[in-house]
């Protein structure tokens, strides 16, 4: 009888040990499966190589737009204004060019001007140049070119729009860097909004600046002037176009694949 009790006790102990071993193995398997699930989720949230290449290509387009915007905002060749070639005397004539922050008045020799040209210029001819920065942003004083004063309010609004567009470009660039580094597609949507709005603000800045130029020319008709937009405006126009295109590309890349499948169904599927 005592031997039977000992055998039963040993069987209970072995059953308990085997049960604990089974629980330990199950726990280890559960931890491993959980780790596999976490790895799967992490890998699914990362960007594929093809999508990452497309994002980098669109970001290159946006970078070119940002560079052109900085070049256009920082230079003073937005508009060239010139008087008639023989308005002042028979030896020299006056021409000027200005942008958002700076203006330059240049005295050119008539002998250097093309004889078939009726107005003074072009501005890149050699001559005496006098450049000055606008004081409307510091002391509120306006400048005078050809005894005319540019529209101060319109110039300030155009400059502020250009600066705000640059701020949005920086924010969009930060979103793209976060999307590439973290592997999250979510940042493409705010980047698309930032680049698209910045491009539209660039166009709006150009429109308001052109209105300020027209107001400047209409302020006094005693001195007839001829004006033409220069290469800084061309840089801004190209920049605005590239930024809007980049914003649209980022928006398309932010869309899930399911939406593309709905818009473009597979043609290989046969009809029953």
**pLDDT for the residue numbered 51:** 84
Name the pLDDT band for 7 (thresholds 50, 70, 90). Answer: very low
Tell me: pLDDT of 272 over 60.
no
Name the pLDDT band for 9 (thresholds 50, 70, 90). Answer: low
Tell me: pLDDT of 226 over 80.
yes
Tell me: pLDDT of 177 over 80.
yes
Tell me: pLDDT of 205 over 90.
yes
Average pLDDT for residues 245-253, to the nearest whole number?
93
Note the pLDDT tens digit of each residue in 139-175.
777 777 777 777 888 889 999 999 999 999 999 999 9
| Closest C-alpha among 190, 244, 238, 191 to residue 69 | 238
The pTM for the full model equals: 0.75
Fold exhibited by the domain 49-256:
Butyryl-CoA Dehydrogenase, subunit A; domain 3 (1.20.140)
**DSSP letter string, 144-206:** -BTTB---HHHHHHHHHHHHHHHHHHHHHHHHHHHHHHHT-GGGHHHHHHHHHHHHHHHHHHH
**pLDDT for the residue numbered 109:** 86
**pLDDT for the residue numbered 26:** 46
Per-domain residue ranges of the chain: 49-256
Tell me: pLDDT of 129 over 50.
yes
**pLDDT for the residue numbered 266:** 54
């Amino acid at each position: 009888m005592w031997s039977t009790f000992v055998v039963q006790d040993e069987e209970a102990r072995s059953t308990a040990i085997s049960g604990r071993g089974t629980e330990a193995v199950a726990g280890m398997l559960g931890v491993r499966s959980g780790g596999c699930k976490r790895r799967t989720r992490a890998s699914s949230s990362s960007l594929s190589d093809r999508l990452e290449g497309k994002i980098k290509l669109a970001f290159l387009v946006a970078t070119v737009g940002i560079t052109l915007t900085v070049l256009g905002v920082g230079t003073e060749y937005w508009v060239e204004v010139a008087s008639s070639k023989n308005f002042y005397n028979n030896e020299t004539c006056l021409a000027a060019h200005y942008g958002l922050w700076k203006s330059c008045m240049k005295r050119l020799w008539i002998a250097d001007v093309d004889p078939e040209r009726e107005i003074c210029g072009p501005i890149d001819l050699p001559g005496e140049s006098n450049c000055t920065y606008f004081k409307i942003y510091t002391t509120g004083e306006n400048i005078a070119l050809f005894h005319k004063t540019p529209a101060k309010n319109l110039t300030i609004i155009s400059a502020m729009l250009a600066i705000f567009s640059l701020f949005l470009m920086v924010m969009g660039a930060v979103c793209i860097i976060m999307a590439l580094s973290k592997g999250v597609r979510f940042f493409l949507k705010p980047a698309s909004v930032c680049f698209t709005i910045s491009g539209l603000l660039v166009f709006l800045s150009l429109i308001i600046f052109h209105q300020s130029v027209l107001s400047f020319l209409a302020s006094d008709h005693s001195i007839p002037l001829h004006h033409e937009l220069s290469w800084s405006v061309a840089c801004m126009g190209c920049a605005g176009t590239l930024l809007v295109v980049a914003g649209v590309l980022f928006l398309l890349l932010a869309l899930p694949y399911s939406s593309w499948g709905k818009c473009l169904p597979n043609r290989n599927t046969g009809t029953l």
